[in-house]
Amino acid sequence: MNFKQLTYFIAVAEELHFGRAAERLDMAQPPLSRQIKLLEESLGAVLINRCRNATSLTQAGERLLERAQSIMEQLNDTRLEVKRLGQGAEGRLRVGFVGSATFGILPNILKSYRATYPDVNLSLIPMNNAKLHRALVTREIDIAFTRPALVDNDIATRNLTEEDLIVAVPDTLDSGGRSVDLATLDRPNYILYPEYPRPSYADLVLDCCEAQGLDTSRRVWTMDIQTALSLVAIGEGICIVPASVGTAQRNGVRFRTIRKPLGVTTLALNARIDEQGVHVCNFKRIAQMVARKAG
């Protein structure tokens, strides 16, 4: 028994007429009759009662019709599912990101992707750069938004946005305006993240401060930007953050530009070079489109 024979049998069983079934299948009646006979012989059961004035199904034929229709329905569902997966319309995509990405274009990228591919299951996983790198290499995630870009011969990277560095200060600090001269602050605590592993975004900040001769000897380490901003809010120190972070209001914190520009930070989109799946390609295309519009 094969799918072609099942197709022939379903047509005859539904039409209960060999002539009409043959027309439906766009074939001659004798070959159709032979195929049904071969099917009955292979199964060892009579499926169709052939009378001069009427055609009916035997009990075996009724059971086979029920099962055959179910099989064909499952086959069609499978074809559609596989096609949608192949087109990237269904499936799963695992996206890792640094915490600061949520203040920039990442939400718009996710909204655009969900609007275009609503049936793809998105897994969103916050990590620091080192964990994102490891997760990409071990295939635990498919896409990584990092700051800065990952450096690896097996990873393809595209810079999406470049932002100035600004400073988050306690709202009790009188900065004398919308900008802050870091050199005039009285040896503040620099709240840095992540504490480990290194190098990381914290090293970018330290390098920029060192280039301007700023004293960063008093350091408070934490693991993520949310905790860092919470520490700023209680007056524990100041924190250098990407400019996009300053677009969000936070109690106890003021965001100020730096009077002598400290430097820039880049948000990068990373994926494995050998990952050519349609879901990743579609996501990268939408991310780049959103970045161009935002730029």
- As a whole number of angstroms, the distance between CA 252 and CA 173 comes to 10
Q: What is the pLDDT of residue 63?
A: 92
Kind plus residue range of the DSSP H or E element containing 157:
strand 155-170
d(CA 138, CA 18) in angstroms, rounded, equals: 58
Cα-Cα end-to-end distance for the chain: 61
Residue ranges in the chain whose pLDDT is less than 70: 81, 83-90, 175-176
pTM score of the predicted model: 0.70
The owner of tokens 């009646």 is 29
Looking up tokens 């306690």, which residue turns up? 170
Q: Give pLDDT, residue 84.
A: 65
* 258: nearest Cα among 197, 184, 180: 180
Alpha-helical regions (H) of the chain: 3-15, 18-25, 29-43, 59-87, 106-116, 129-137, 201-211, 225-233, 278-294
Each residue's pLDDT tens digit, 102-151: 998 999 999 999 999 998 889 999 998 989 999 999 999 999 999 989 99
- For residue 84, which of 269, 282, 289, 218 has the smallest C-alpha distance? 282
| pLDDT for residue 88 | 64
Q: How much is the pLDDT for 277?
A: 82
Find the helix packing angle between 3-15 and 29-43, rounded to 10°: 110
What pLDDT, on the 0 to 100 scale, is given for residue 5?
Answer: 87
